[in-house]
Amino acid sequence: MPESTDTALTQIASRTEGARIVLDRVSKVYPGQDAPAVDAFSMVAEPGELIMFVGPSGCGKTTTMKMINRIIEPTSGSITIDGRDILSLDPNELRRHIGYVIQQIGLFPHMTIAENIAVVPKLLGWSKQRTSERIDELLRTVQLDPGVFAERYPRQLSGGQQQRVGVARALAADPPVMLMDEPFGATDPITREKLQAEFLRLQESISKTIIFVTHDFDEAIRLGDRIAVLSERSQIEQFDTPAAILAQPANDYVRSFIGQGAALKRLALIPIESAALGPMAAAAAGHRIGADESLRDALDLLIVTGVPAVGVVDSTGSIIGSLTVDRISTALGADASALAATRADEGRSV
Ligand SMILES: Nc1ncnc2c1ncn2[C@@H]1O[C@H](COP(=O)(O)OP(=O)(O)OP(=O)(O)O)[C@@H](O)[C@H]1O
């Protein structure tokens, strides 16, 4: 028996930590087109996962993502969020429970920042006090001082600040699912890195299920729990963790996406503390790096300083060992073997 929109939405909305999204053979044929833009796309996103869709322009990333909040209606297939069939719900209502961040930001120019963030809470009938407390909390979460920014208009903010407001607005009603369409694409490289780092920290505390579209593979590696590498008509060429894709690309298509420097990219994903450190005495005086930084950072430091070994320090600043290029190389090899062993185990258990 079909469930009422209200009941299903209440259940989806009551779960503010990530929900499970299942797409099953979802296709989209645009009117007047013979070939589908998305052809039988199937995927499961687990609660709290940050999934990156990466692929070339026109491969269908955005179409696939927009079918989840029904900005685009699927031609066939099924989509569920925590088991609820979203295609049977009222699309406008559904969208209020799914955060959405786009590259063009889409802030309303004649509304203040506070009013922009309040759009969905207002539609949901929140009280003035609850809404205003939420605005303050969210602005602080995205590192904007409410006293300074709440009453400003979008044009009085930099691009990076506007993008932060875009994220705050999408989080306003604490939705379990967020869709992000190249959200940092229009910002300069330095602002972009900063926004990515902030966003990762934020996701650690909010644990939403996020579908994030990008054509930047490095962004996918940096942010994603898992990456779906897509080709024409949203065909999945590989769907796996960044480390697994870098270590074992499924085919030449995926390899071409990774581009040059797969080993360097992998180093950026491995924390120094997972390497076997050398003796403390070997560390050159004055050259120190934190154990929670990546092997890539350690390699950079070795190359820039030209010293044979850098000292590794713990969170209290005490030296706990040293790191050389050889040790970094060994750690990279060990990481690949561990990954291969895990995959073999998974293969056996399937
Ligand atoms: N409204 C539409 N009508 C007809 N065809 C469309 C429409 N929107 C998109 N398409 C086509 O569907 C295909 C997939 O488009 P989509 O925007 O999903 O790709 P994308 O991977 O997100 O690309 P980009 O990275 O350039 O945004 C493209 O070939 C595009 O031309």
pLDDT at position 283 = 77
Which residue minimizes the CA distance to atom 24 of ligand 1? 57
pLDDT at position 4 = 57
- Sequence-ordered strand ranges (E) for the chain: 21-28, 38-45, 50-54, 76-81, 84-85, 98-102, 177-181, 209-214, 226-231, 235-240, 288-290, 310-313, 319-323
Q: 205 in ligand 1 pocket by Cβ < 6 Å?
A: no
Do residues 213 and 65 touch, judged by C-beta distance below 8 A? Answer: yes
**64 Cα to the center of ligand 1, angstroms:** 10
CATH 3.40.50.300 in the chain is located at 5-97+175-259
pLDDT at position 72 = 94
Coil, helix or strand at residue 47? coil
Going from the C-alpha of 267 to that of each of 165, 218, 222, 259, 297, the distances in angstroms are 33, 13, 12, 15, 8
pLDDT at position 96 = 77
pLDDT at position 109 = 87
Quick one: which of 109, 110, 30 has its CA closest to 67? 30
CA distance 68 to 75: 13
- Ligand 1 atom at minimum distance from 72 CA: 1
Q: 60 in ligand 1 pocket by Cβ < 6 Å?
A: yes
Describe the strand order of the beta sheet including 235-240 as a list of residue ranges: 98-102, 177-181, 209-214, 50-54, 226-231, 235-240
**75 Cα to the center of ligand 1, angstroms:** 15
Close Cβ partners of 204 (under 8 Å, ≥ 6 residues apart) = none
Topology of 5-97+175-259 in CATH? Rossmann fold (3.40.50)
CA distance 192 to 210: 18
Report the Cα–Cα distance between both ends of the chain, in Å, rounded.
Answer: 34
pLDDT at position 47 = 93
Q: Select from 61, 181, 231 the residue to mutate for testing ligand 1; criterion: most ligand atoms less than 8 Å from CB.
A: 61
CATH 3.90.1280.20 in the chain is located at 265-349
Coil, helix or strand at residue 117? helix
Quick one: which of 156, 157, 219 has its CA closest to 185? 219
Which residue minimizes the CA distance to atom 7 of ligand 1? 30
**265-349 CATH, one of 3.40.640.10, 3.30.360.10, 3.90.1280.20, 3.40.50.720:** 3.90.1280.20
Q: 61 in ligand 1 pocket by Cβ < 6 Å?
A: yes
Pairing between β-strand 98-102 and β-strand 177-181 as defined by DSSP bridges: parallel
**298 Cα to the center of ligand 1, angstroms:** 41
CA distance 29 to 37: 6
CA 217 to chain centre: 12
Which residue minimizes the CA distance to atom 27 of ligand 1? 57
Each of the 350 residues of the chain gets a pLDDT tens digit; together they read 445 556 665 655 555 667 899 999 999 999 999 899 999 999 999 999 999 999 988 999 999 999 999 999 999 999 999 888 998 888 888 887 888 887 766 788 899 999 999 888 888 788 899 899 989 988 988 888 989 998 999 889 888 888 888 888 888 878 889 899 988 877 777 778 888 888 888 888 888 899 999 988 888 988 999 999 999 999 999 999 998 898 889 999 998 888 777 778 888 888 898 888 988 887 777 789 999 899 989 998 988 888 889 999 998 989 999 999 888 888 887 766 777 677 667 666 54
Do residues 65 and 179 touch, judged by C-beta distance below 8 A? Answer: yes
Beta bridge partners of 100: 179
ipTM of the complex: 0.96
